[in-house]
Structure 1
Amino acid sequence: MQMSSLPEGYRALIIGASGGIGAALVDVLRGDSRCASITELARSTTPSLDLADPGSIGHCATEVAGQGPFHLIINAAGVLHSDTFMPEKRLADLDHQQLLDTFQVNTFGPALLLRHFCPLLDRQRGVLAMLSAKVGSIGDNRLGGWYSYRASKAALNMLIKTAAIEVKRSQPNAVLLALHPGTVSSNLSQPFRGAEIGRPAADAAHDLLRVIDGLGPEASGGFYAYSGDALPW
C-alpha cells in the first residue's frame, strides 16, 4: 500500500519493531515506494529502546533525531502478560508489582515517548500513533477483569488526548492517535486463543496504516479502531 497523505520520500519510525505488529508495519512500509527511510527501535536494536528503562527513551530520541524529522512515528510495543503474570480475572488477583510492570510498559514509557519524540515530527505532516486497545475503553467495558491492562491503556488514551491539545499549539499539523489493532495472532494474544481468533499481523498493519492515512489534524487526540471507527473513551 501507499501512504498517500504523506509526502514523497517520507520518513517513518517504528518503536517495538521486533514485535508481531511492529515487524509487520516495517514490512508494509518497506513495500511503499514513497517511503524513503524506516528507522526501527526495540530492545534488540542499537540503540536499544526499552519502555521499562526511562533513560533509554531519551537517549534513543537523541540518537535518531538526525534521521528526522519524521512524518510517521508508531509505537507498537506493549505488555499484556509476562513470564511472571497473566491478566487479572478478579480483584483478589491484583498485585502491586504487576500493576507497576504493566503501567511501566503501557503508560509510563509511552508518556516519555510523547515527551521526547513529538518534537521529532515533521511540521507539515507528522503523525505519532500508539497502539492502545479497545479493552481500555471505559465506556465499552462490559466484561470486567484485566484490571492492570485495561487501566494502563485507559491512562495511555488520556495521555495522548492531553498531549494532542498541547502539541497542537506549536505544531498545528501534528496528529496524535490512539489505535486499536484488533485481536492479532502474536505472542501477546497467544495465551488467549490468539492463534484461533486473531488476524495475521500483516492484515492489522495494513488496516492501521490505512486508518492513519485517512486522518488529518482534526482527528488528533482521537481513539480509533483498525476499521476506522472512533471508539468511546
Structure 2
Amino acid sequence: MASAKHGFALVTPASRGLGFAFAQQLLAKTQLPVVATARKNCADLRDKLLSSEGLPQDAEQRLRVLEVDVTDETTISSMADTIRQDYPKTPLRIALAIPGILHVEKSPAQIGAESALHSFQVNALGPLLLMKHLSPFLPTKSSPEFPISENPESDNELKLPSHAIYAMMAARVGSISDNNSGGWYSYRASKASVYQIAKTFDLYLRGRCAEKALAVALHPGTVRTDFTKEFWSGREMLEPLDSAYRILQFLAGMPAGSKDGRGRCWDWKGEEVLP
C-alpha cells in the first residue's frame, strides 16, 4: 500500500456511471488510497466497487467511501474532516470533482425556477464548495514532489506525474463557442461556470503551488450512463470505463509547467474544448 508521501485520490461522486468508473480505475491501476463519495447507500457503493473485476488484493484496505451531497456544505466539510483524521499529512494527488444534474429545457417556456436553481446548485456551486474544502489538501510550493511510479514496466499501472491534478467536470454543451443548437438553458449556463472556475482555481494554484499542482476542466464525451439514457439513440457512445481510462491517461501525461494546458477544458481525446 502506498505511503503518505504518495498522496491519495478522490472521486466525488462515485456512485454510478463515470464516477464509478474513475474509482474503479484508480483502485485497479494505482496504489493510492481512494476516497469515493455518494449521497446515500455508501455501504452498497463500497461493496459494488470491491466486486469489480481486476482489483488488487489491497483494494479493500485502500478504499474509503464517504457520504457527500454537494447541495449540503456540511457534508463536504465533514468529508474534509474525515480525510484529515484518516490520512494525516497526506496530500491530495488526484481529484475528480464531477457532480452533475440535467434538467432539460427545449424552450424558454420550460424553464422552472426550482429546477434551474437545482442545476446551478449541483453543477456550479457544487464544484465551488468542493474546491473550497479540498484545496487545503493540495501540495504547496514547499511540498516535496510525489514519487514517480515504482513499477515503470507495468502496463497495468497508471503512471501518475510528480504533481497533483485537480479536475472538475464541465461539458461541451457548456461551451459558448460550440453552442450551435441551443436549448438546455440551465445545464448549459451552469456547466459554462465550470470553465471559469477551473481557470480561476488554476491561477490560484500557480501562486500557491507553482508546478506542484494544476487544475483543469473536462469533457468526457457522450458516455453510456443513466445520466444520458434518453439520448442514446443514434449517437456514438463511449462506455464509462473507456472514457475514464482515456481521461486518466491524458491527465497523467499533462505537464504542470505547461501554460498552454493547465486551467483549460479538455475532452476525452486530449483535445481542447474552447469556452
TM-score, with structure 1 as normaliser:
0.88
**Residues 206 and 194 of structure 1: CA distance in aligned 2, closer, same or farther (over 3 Å):** farther
Quote how far apart the aligned CAs of 1:215 are: 1.1
Q: Deviations over 1:64-86 (max 9, x none)?
A: 13423111011132111xxxxx4
Residue of structure 1 equivalent to 2:119: 102
Is the counterpart of residue 191 in structure 1 residue 230 in structure 2?
Answer: yes
Q: Could you tell me which runs of 5 or more consecutive residues in structure 1 were left unpaired when the two chains were aligned.
A: 1-6, 81-85
- How many Å separate the matches in 2 of 1:194 and 1:77? 24
> Percent identity between the aligned chains?
31
- How many Å separate the matches in 1 of 2:192 and 2:233? 22
**Residues 197 and 213 of structure 1: CA distance in aligned 2, closer, same or farther (over 3 Å):** same
User: Do the aligned partners of 1:17 and 1:41 also contact (CA within 8 Å) in 2?
Assistant: yes
Is the counterpart of residue 29 in structure 1 residue 50 in structure 2?
Answer: no
Is the counterpart of residue 77 in structure 1 residue 99 in structure 2?
Answer: yes
Residue of structure 1 equivalent to 2:109: 92
Residue of structure 2 equivalent to 1:227: 269
TM-score, with structure 2 as normaliser:
0.76
Q: Could you tell me which runs of 5 or more consecutive residues in structure 2 were left unpaired when the two chains were aligned.
A: 43-64, 146-162
Q: Deviations over 1:192-230 (max 9, x none)?
A: 127964211000110110111111223221110110011
Pick the aligned partner of 2:255 from 213, 216, 228.
Answer: 216
Quote how far apart the aligned CAs of 1:8 are: 8.8
User: Do the aligned partners of 2:5 and 2:91 also contact (CA within 8 Å) in 1?
Assistant: no
- How many Å separate the matches in 1 of 2:39 and 2:113? 24
Please say which of residues 117-126 and 19-28 is displaced more in the overlay: 117-126
- How many Å separate the matches in 2 of 1:60 and 1:103? 22
Residue of structure 1 equivalent to 2:70: 51
Quote how far apart the aligned CAs of 1:163 are: 1.4
**How much is the aligned-residue C-alpha RMSD, in angstroms?**
1.9
- How many Å separate the matches in 2 of 1:114 and 1:36? 21
Correspondence 1:80-159 to 2 at 5 A: 80=102, 86-123=103-140, 124=145, 125-159=163-197
- How many Å separate the matches in 2 of 1:76 and 1:224? 14
| Structure of higher CA gyration radius | 2
- How many Å separate the matches in 1 of 2:5 and 2:245? 19
Q: SS at 1:97's partner residue?
A: helix
**Residues 36 and 195 of structure 1: CA distance in aligned 2, closer, same or farther (over 3 Å):** farther
- How many Å separate the matches in 1 of 2:249 and 2:6? 18
Quote how far apart the aligned CAs of 1:119 are: 1.4
Q: SS at 1:112's partner residue?
A: helix
Number of equivalences: 221
**Residues 195 and 144 of structure 1: CA distance in aligned 2, closer, same or farther (over 3 Å):** closer
**Residues 20 and 195 of structure 1: CA distance in aligned 2, closer, same or farther (over 3 Å):** farther
Correspondence 1:156-195 to 2 at 5 A: 156-172=194-210, 173-193=212-232
**Residues 59 and 10 of structure 1: CA distance in aligned 2, closer, same or farther (over 3 Å):** closer
- How many Å separate the matches in 1 of 2:170 and 2:74? 23
- How many Å separate the matches in 1 of 2:66 and 2:9? 16
Please say which of residues 117-126 and 163-172 is displaced more in the overlay: 117-126
Pick the aligned partner of 1:200 from 217, 236, 239.
Answer: 239
User: Do the aligned partners of 2:98 and 2:168 also contact (CA within 8 Å) in 1?
Assistant: yes
Quote how far apart the aligned CAs of 1:52 are: 1.1
Quote how far apart the aligned CAs of 1:10 are: 4.6
- How many Å separate the matches in 1 of 2:234 and 2:181? 22
User: Do the aligned partners of 1:12 and 1:35 also contact (CA within 8 Å) in 2?
Assistant: no
- How many Å separate the matches in 2 of 1:62 and 1:138? 37
